[in-house]
Chains A and B, each alone.
Chain A
Amino acid sequence: MENKEYDVVIVGSGIAGSIVAKTLTQAGKQVLLLEAGLEAGMAFDSEGAYKNYQDYLRSYYMALAKVPNAPYPDIKDAESPNVLDMTQINGKPDTKGYFVQNGPLPFASDYARAAGGTTLHWLGTCLRMLPNDFKMRSKYGQAVDWPIDYEYLKPYYEMAEREIGVSSDVSEQIYPNMGNDFFGKDYVFPMYKIPQSYIDKSFIDGIKGLKVSLNGDVYTPECTSTPQGRNSTPNEKYRYAATVWNKTSQKLELKPFPKESDVYVPVGAIWDPYSGQRCEGNASCVPICPVQAKYNALKTLKSAKKEHLTLLSQAVATQIHIDTSNGNITGVSYKQYPHPDSKDYTTGTAKGKIYVLAANAIENAKILLASGACKTSDQVGRNLMDHTVLLTWGLMKDKVYPFRGPGSTTNIPTFRDGDFRKHHAAWISPIDNWGWGWPTGSPDTDLDHAVSTLNLYGKDLRTYIGDLLSRQLLLHFECEQLPEKTNRVTIDNKYLDNIGNYRPIINYNVADYSLKAFKASKTVSDQIFAGMGVQDYTNYPANEPDYTTYDGQGYVFRGAGHVVGTHCMGTTEKNSVVNRDQQAWDHKNLYLVGAGNMATLGTSNPTLTLAALSFAAAENILKALK
């Protein structure tokens, strides 16, 4: 392997790396993929894949706090951030977890360093970004415009929706300022929508006719089914079999099914194609779908062309090497550890014509900083973004039976775009199906309260649990965060991991643009709760990690797990790290992929957009390799 030069070396087997690996290998290119996570996670034979996944599931069952990374191995040699490590930062850096948190507020999201990446524990929401999300500067005088627009990304969104297997009904997808041709004529998703929950139905009925005031304007909050990367009933009108490279046109294309009678077949579990062909309602999508009805990147990686793909796991990329004469990358150094927690490792250098970093936005930034790469713009590591999530919760009048179904099946898109973005962040409001689990730790915290504080036992306890937990309602207000130069990832020799690799140092804060949206969205929530007769139990304790105040009010926000920015794309080498082709301005044979490229965040969960961008990047790489 040492002596072999591949066409492309990819770092990371998450959705971005896997899409690039699959697309390139199917186009006949030789690819080496480095993955920092454990070898066991890379098993694709039925028995190996099944056993490894059952280990994940067992860890999930035994975990006291069923946080996003709970099922996945905690590896000292390739550590993952954990939301349980996040606490208030009081003056000095918080070094307890993998991140070194400089604050002033802790960055509240995590990711998984394992084969398949963070799609192992993503929720699966697959919303496209809105046209105005790409032109925040010209439209609203905020942040920057992207060097590409919605129209550019549209065909790649279709490829991403096929790859992930998105379930949704186009006719219900109505968003503010979406334009006349958002989905294209006759477009359908691969599968019909995931059925909306019983809670959704009660909520939609309860909110009917309600008007809410915001900044002097009146809005009618609309509810719509949420497109999701989980298996539902195939839509017989869907006609695409695969995304393929057309050598003649030098483009990626969606290839139609050969026969009229062909239909889309949901992609099941990696250990058995017939398992997970429908969502079975496990209600544990985050952190783990037991049947893999929810998409994860292992499905994509498994369908790469094996003869052309070399997988190297337990191999942590540490540095890329630069030919100073022309800026080209000449290799990627990695440390390969034989045991997950030992200090031993061997080193190697992978060589290819083209290099792709797909290791997650924060890890990509770390590798670039460690290599002294992409220095011209001084933007590497900067503009770290996340959706800052304000939660509001209460009790519905009637039983709505949460803790069932996928995490969220309906959202309120009303505030995803509008002139208010000149003044404060837009947001999307998913209606949650899992009770108060996120803000209060339900259901076991309710049980403990009932037994230890309310002194309930027996039939009274059973009745109380049945009443309280079946009426819990939770709303999210996922507020867009703008790119800020000072929200950034850096590295320092003082902070190294078990095998001497850098740990990410994070400086993070939330600007007034988002804080104003907390105030605005809370106003909307208050009106919704009052209008529907929801008993409001929302509270924002001052000792929570991300407690902040605005205009005399305290708020607690949470991370959405949307790690975005750090190597944003832009219009010049002075203002950005990559160009519109996702190629590093400073290094012609280096492509960066993933949510790190996103110049702004919008109100969509970023995975679908980064998947679409990854298809675009793969196309650009194939063009460059010709």
Chain B
Amino acid sequence: MDKTTAGLDAFLAISVPLTGYSKIALVATGMAQSYLDAVHRVIGTEMTDEYLTLTARILQQTGGKEPALDREIRQQLLASLKYGPLTRNIIQMWYWGAWLPLPPAWMAKYGKGIKGNENHFVSPEAYQQGLIWNAMGSHPEGSKQPGFASWSIAPLS
């Protein structure tokens, strides 16, 4: 239990700079645990722990301050052959609710034997909680409907 909670905290902590949303906004989606579970499910516990140890170190070493944080996220995560695809998947999972297939080159090098890497929505809720809709001033199509005639004025927020 301790380990899972620790993992969740670390996952949320790095998700804040990765998504551009506050921790409270991410927690409020109710999806953090599901997304972390999806990462676990596909890449396994060992690599997940390794990844979250690295992200925690980045946050600690930079104190979460720019421009150091941006440099470390780009150099250690996004530019990394191993962690880049994974990081991009986590970002897109928060925004769209779906797991994207890790690319074949990544699978060949790091993903032997892993399962569940196909493109899929994590759950019906994940689709409805995607951050992309809020980012564009809308709501998930088919859910959280804003009411009659709401579309005829600019979004309120």
A: residues with CB less than 8 A from B are 57-58, 60-62, 64, 66, 195-198, 200-201, 232, 278-284, 288, 290-291, 399, 401-406, 409, 433-434, 443-444, 447-448, 451-452, 455, 457-463, 465-466, 469-470
Q: Which B residues are CB-close (under 8 A) to A406?
A: 151
CB distance from A357 to the nearest CB of B (A): 33
CB distance from A53 to the nearest CB of B (A): 12
Known: A278-B148, A290-B145, A403-B141. A465 touches B154 (CB 8 A): no
Q: Point out which of B70, B132, B139, B154 has the most chain A C-beta atoms below 10 A from its C-beta.
A: B132
Q: CB distance A465 to B132 under 8 Å?
A: yes
Q: CB distance A401 to B138 under 8 Å?
A: yes
Q: CB distance B142 to A58 under 8 Å?
A: no
Q: CB distance A64 to B98 under 8 Å?
A: yes
Q: How far is the CA of A60 from the CA of B142 in the complex (A)?
A: 9
Q: Which of B91-114 contact A (CB under 8 A)?
A: 91-92, 95-96, 98, 100
Q: CB distance A447 to B92 under 8 Å?
A: yes
Whether B7 sits at the interface, judged by CB under 8 Å, is: no
Q: Which B residues are CB-close (under 8 A) to A60?
A: 142
Q: How far is the CA of A401 from the CA of B139 in the complex (A)?
A: 11
CB distance from A281 to the nearest CB of B (A): 5
Known: A61-B121, A61-B124, A447-B132. A198 touches B141 (CB 8 A): no
Query: Closest chain B residue to A433 by CB distance?
Result: B151
Quick one: CB contact mask for B123-155 with A, threshold 8 Å, 1 for yes? Answer: 110011001110111110111011111111111
Quick one: CB contact mask for B24-59 with A, threshold 8 Å, 1 for yes? Answer: 000000000000000000000000000000000000
Q: CB distance A281 to B132 under 8 Å?
A: no
Q: CB distance B18 to A458 under 8 Å?
A: yes
Task: Name the 4 nearest CB pairs between A and B, nearest first.
Answer: A405-B151, A284-B142, A61-B124, A469-B136
Whether B120 sits at the interface, judged by CB under 8 Å, is: yes
Q: CB distance A451 to B141 under 8 Å?
A: no
Q: How far is the CA of A195 from the CA of B143 in the complex (A)?
A: 20
Q: Which B residues are CB-close (under 8 A) to A434?
A: 141
Q: Can you list 15 A-B pairs with a CB-CB distance of less than 8 A? A: A64-B98, A198-B151, A278-B148, A281-B147, A281-B150, A284-B142, A402-B138, A404-B146, A404-B150, A405-B150, A433-B151, A451-B91, A457-B87, A462-B20, A465-B132
Q: Which B residues are CB-close (under 8 A) to A463?
A: 20
CB distance from B82 to the nearest CB of A (A): 16
CB distance from A416 to the nearest CB of B (A): 25
Q: Point out which of A60, A409, A451 has the most chain B C-beta atoms below 10 A from its C-beta.
A: A451
Instruction: Pick the residue among A61, A457, A460, A461 that contacts B142 (CB under 8 A).
Output: A61
Q: Point out which of B91, B123, B136, B147 has the most chain A C-beta atoms below 10 A from its C-beta.
A: B136
Instruction: Pick the residue among A200, A433, A466 that contacts B136 (CB under 8 A).
Output: A466
Q: CB distance A61 to B95 under 8 Å?
A: no
Whether B78 sits at the interface, judged by CB under 8 Å, is: yes
Q: How far is the CA of A401 from the CA of B138 in the complex (A)?
A: 7
Instruction: Pick the residue among B21, B92, B123, B138 that contacts A451 (CB under 8 A).
Output: B92
Q: CB distance A470 to B73 under 8 Å?
A: no
Instruction: Pick the residue among B78, B143, B152 that contacts A282 (CB under 8 A).
Output: B143
CB distance from A71 to the nearest CB of B (A): 9
Q: CB distance A198 to B154 under 8 Å?
A: yes
Query: Closest chain A residue to B131 by CB distance?
Result: A462
Whether B19 sits at the interface, judged by CB under 8 Å, is: yes
Q: CB distance A458 to B124 under 8 Å?
A: no
Q: Which A residues are CB-close (under 8 A) to B78?
A: 455, 457
Query: Closest chain A residue to B87 by CB distance?
Result: A457
Instruction: Pick the residue among A278, A452, A466 that contacts B135 (CB under 8 A).
Output: A466
Q: CB distance B141 to A282 under 8 Å?
A: yes
Q: How far is the CA of A612 from the CA of B149 in the complex (A)?
A: 29
Whether B88 sits at the interface, judged by CB under 8 Å, is: yes
Q: Which A residues are CB-close (under 8 A) to B151?
A: 195, 197-198, 281, 283, 404-406, 409, 433
Q: Which A residues are CB-close (under 8 A) to B120?
A: 62, 64
Q: Which A residues are CB-close (under 8 A) to B135?
A: 462, 465-466, 469
Q: How far is the CA of A434 from the CA of B98 in the complex (A)?
A: 20
Q: Which B residues are CB-close (under 8 A) to A458?
A: 17-20, 70, 73
Q: Which B residues are CB-close (under 8 A) to A278?
A: 148
CB distance from B95 to the nearest CB of A (A): 5
Whether B5 sits at the interface, judged by CB under 8 Å, is: no
Q: CB distance B141 to A201 under 8 Å?
A: no
- Give 11 new A-B contacts, CB below 8 A, not counting A281-B145, A405-B152, A457-B18: A280-B147, A283-B151, A401-B155, A403-B133, A404-B138, A404-B139, A405-B150, A457-B19, A458-B18, A462-B20, A462-B135
Q: CB distance B142 to A283 under 8 Å?
A: yes
Q: CB distance A288 to B142 under 8 Å?
A: yes
Query: Closest chain A residue to B16 by CB distance?
Result: A458
Q: CB distance A195 to B128 under 8 Å?
A: no
Q: Which A residues are CB-close (under 8 A) to B133?
A: 403
Q: Which A residues are CB-close (under 8 A) to B92?
A: 444, 447-448, 451
Instruction: Pick the residue among A64, A197, A288, A399 that contacts B119 (CB under 8 A).
Output: A64
Q: Which B residues are CB-close (under 8 A) to A465?
A: 95, 132, 135-136
CB distance from B69 to the nearest CB of A (A): 9
CB distance from A271 to the nearest CB of B (A): 17
Q: CB distance B152 to A197 under 8 Å?
A: yes
CB distance from B31 to the nearest CB of A (A): 13
Query: Closest chain B residue to A66 by CB distance?
Result: B141
Query: Closest chain B residue to A231 by CB distance?
Result: B148
Q: CB distance B138 to A403 under 8 Å?
A: yes
Instruction: Pick the residue among A61, A433, A451 that contacts B88 (CB under 8 A).
Output: A451
